[in-house]
Chains A and B, each alone.
Chain A
Amino acid sequence: MFDALSDRLEVVFKKLRGAGKLSEKNVQDSLREVRQALLEADVNYKVARDFVKSVQEKAIGDEVLKSIEPGQQIIKIVHDELVTLLGGQAEPMAPIDKSPTVYMVCGLQGSGKTTLAGKLALQAKRKNKKPMVVAADIYRPAAVKQLKVLADSISVEHFHLEGKKPQQICAEAVKYASKNFIDLVILDTAGRLHVDDELMKELEEIKSLTNPDELLLVADSMTGQDAVNVAREFHDRLDITGVVLSKLDGDARGGAALSIRQVTGCPIKMASVGEKLSDLEPFHPDRLASRILGMGDIISLVEKAEETIDLEKAEKMKEKILKSQFDFEDFLEQMQQVRKMGPLDSLLGMIPGAGKALKNVQVNEKDVNRMLAIIQSMTIEERRNPKILDGSRKRRIAAGSGNSIQAINQLLKQFAAMQKMFNNMNRMKMKGLPKGMMPF
């Protein structure tokens, strides 16, 4: 794995500890590390170079040289600059305010267009709008069917004309939509290489026939240096209005986004963060900046927690902890809440520093499942009062959950340790827990 930028800068500044004074050369050394980090995050070479130059001017000021933690200071400047470059703040999609509003989706093969079409449709539906997806990919085998299956799964209308050209399909779709009270038409075009002149022409024609309100380029967040050329070509020919970053749920650092933003000047509007149709989020420049620098994404984590955790329940839980009444029943509920937030490993990935600290720790979804199975094999009474668990009960639970008795003893031990920890915390008169979050 790549070292996070903060680790590397630490190395640079450690060398200086003895020297006592920071010089311009030190700053330059650290900026070289910054540049390397950007390149490793797939930021375009020229973009990275220009970026470092602009940071250099800011960083050589007295503020950095005199600060106690110059490494942190430089990272802050770099981070802030990145956020600015990425567009400052999230920019919304064109509103669905006329009948029909048209979104056109284009991009390279395999960037995630069809899935995005489905996600956009679902999002519109949740806003009580009536969307319709249009299958204009007549080239890839079964692409039309793929969109149809997705549309059916969310009960959204699907439009396609067998044997017709994509231009015609899209034009007809818009006509159909305006007669049938459709609020949003989503045109799913075929994947194509930006150097494929014929297919790029096809997109130009679709654009002029349908006059889309939003022309989105879907960009794979794992793309390398070529992202610049792709974005430039699509933008030059089609004048795109926004970019959607796909597959951000992987571990790509996503530097391509910075290049795309720089080259096209177009805002990055949405980010695709999973395979489920609900996994589409507004794009947050600050989070991507942290990610490009390998700094984790704590804000997303907190937000996810706030979204999924029931505040009232959390309050009750807090009460229980404070009164040392936390039992297995509560633990189960707590685990289920956390589970709703997504796979554990992706949650851990968002914690700053976790990437480094947990490099070799595999959060095993299976172990968690095993633990839940054990608790679920207990009776309510046993969950409330684990002390009554004797040999015979343990045997029953072991058989019921498919575990060994040792596994059950181990869980009981861990749980006892946790209760003890809570007791200690209470004794320290802890004032309050953060909203909705548990201290473990």
Chain B
Amino acid sequence: MANPFQKLRESLSKTKDNILGKISRVVLRRKIDDDLLEEIEEILIEADVGVKATMRLIETIREKAVQENLTEGEQVIDLLKNEIRSILLSNDTDESPIETKPVVWLIVGVNGVGKTTTIGKLATHLSNQGKKVIIAACDTFRAAAIDQISIWADRARVDIIRSQEGADPASVAFDAAQAAKARQADILLVDTAGRLHTKSHLMEELKKIRRVIDKAVEGSTILSKLIIDGSTGQNALNQVRVFTDAVGCDGLIITKLDGTAKGGVLIAIAEELEVPVEFIGLGEGVEDIQEFDSSKVVEALFE
């Protein structure tokens, strides 16, 4: 198995080049002025750092440049690194909550973000850590979703609780939660159908799934994990807001971060949201998922 940090570094190398690489080239032999700041703004926005985070970064540079009497373009780099670092590290919490088994991870998100694939990877990742994992195939809506998740369960060699297409997802969740309890599983991964957060009836369905699980495994720790496609733009914020209202959101999983330049979204999310990123998806292979470690990401981005 390749060194995970190496993989992270490779995956983020384009992002690195796209943010710091470009900015380093732009600031060469330049004075700090409005034109330069505008060019930096352009680089940050285009790297999907987000409108809000970008505006704040630019303002901070402007202020600090005045305060500390900075004039040379190159001096911007360190300022920026520090600011981005503090944004990325701002959501870190070091206390891990006490969890009561079976711990349920309710995996939710809009269509096409990679929920099923992520669950496949998570199942492998967690069972490699020696945990007993069960998957609940609650996406009974999309054609062949159950087959897809079953193949992943086979690959990860974990149990799966499934029903047929069109079944009530809440009833599958109930059965799975009870099975998880009976079989003394450590973690139950609940795959749900993708749904746009604007469809209130589908969000209601999600609430119901959560309620049913609550009842089936009373006292257990139930965590909602929202999956976001790494190439999503500003809409990611709406998604987090609405899903949080419906079923809570204990952590984010950002997918499809491999190989392209869109790692900037990690900065946008850290700036605008208080929900921590827990995992990042870096490819289609079963091992291409990593626990998110902000200091490692900072290292991969800056060094």
Q: Which residues of A contact B (CB under 8 A)?
A: 1-2, 36, 39-42, 44-46, 49, 108-112, 139-143, 145-150, 153, 193-196, 220, 222-230, 247, 249-253, 255-256, 275, 343, 345-346, 349, 362-366
Contacts and interface: CB of A to CB of B under 8 A. Distances in A.
A46 B144 CA distance: 41
A84 B46 CA distance: 24
B232 A229 contact: no
B232 A222 contact: yes
A222 B233 contact: yes
Nearest to A249: B196
Given A146-B144, A196-B259, A251 B238 contact: yes
B256 A193 contact: yes
B121 to A, nearest CB: 12
Interface in B275-294: 284
B209 to A, nearest CB: 17
B200 interface: yes
Contact of B111 (A228, A275, A364): A275
B51 A36 contact: yes
Nearest to B113: A110
A346 B198 contact: yes
B257 to A, nearest CB: 10
5 contacts: A139-B284, A142-B145, A226-B261, A253-B235, A366-B204
A268 B144 CA distance: 29
A45 B141 CA distance: 38
A224 B143 contact: no
Contacts of B111: 110, 112, 247, 275
A45 B199 contact: no
Contacts of B266: none
Given A343-B199, A366-B204, A250 B235 contact: yes
B235 A195 contact: no
A261 B42 CA distance: 20
A103 to B, nearest CB: 20
A142 B151 contact: yes
A420 to B, nearest CB: 31
Interface of B: 14, 41-42, 45-48, 51, 110-114, 117, 120, 141-145, 147-148, 150-152, 165, 196-201, 204, 229, 231-236, 238, 256, 258-262, 265, 284
Given A142-B145, A146-B143, 17 more contacts: A40-B51, A41-B234, A110-B114, A112-B111, A112-B112, A140-B148, A141-B151, A146-B147, A146-B148, A193-B259, A195-B259, A220-B231, A223-B231, A227-B231, A247-B111, A343-B200, A363-B200
A94 to B, nearest CB: 26
A343 B201 contact: yes
Given A45-B46, A247-B110, A349 B144 contact: no
Contact of A362 (B113, B200, B235): B200
A224 B232 contact: yes
A230 B261 CA distance: 11
A55 B197 CA distance: 34
Nearest to B38: A49
A193 B199 CA distance: 28
B235 A226 contact: no
A82 B143 CA distance: 37
A133 to B, nearest CB: 12
A226 B232 CA distance: 9
Contacts of B233: 42, 222-225, 227, 252, 255-256
Contacts of B256: 108-110, 193
B234 A224 contact: yes
A146 B143 CA distance: 5
A228 to B, nearest CB: 8
Nearest to A191: B112
A366 B207 CA distance: 14
Contacts of B265: 224
Nearest to A246: B112
A146 B235 contact: no
B143 A150 contact: yes
B53 to A, nearest CB: 12
A365 B201 contact: yes
A220 B196 contact: no
Contact of A229 (B51, B112, B258, B260): B260
A250 B48 contact: no
B48 to A, nearest CB: 5
Closest 8 CB pairs of A and B: A224-B233, A110-B112, A149-B143, A42-B233, A142-B148, A146-B144, A141-B151, A142-B147
A226 B260 contact: yes
A149 B260 contact: no
A44 B112 contact: no
A310 to B, nearest CB: 25
A364 B200 contact: yes
A42 B234 contact: yes
B55 to A, nearest CB: 8
A230 B150 CA distance: 31
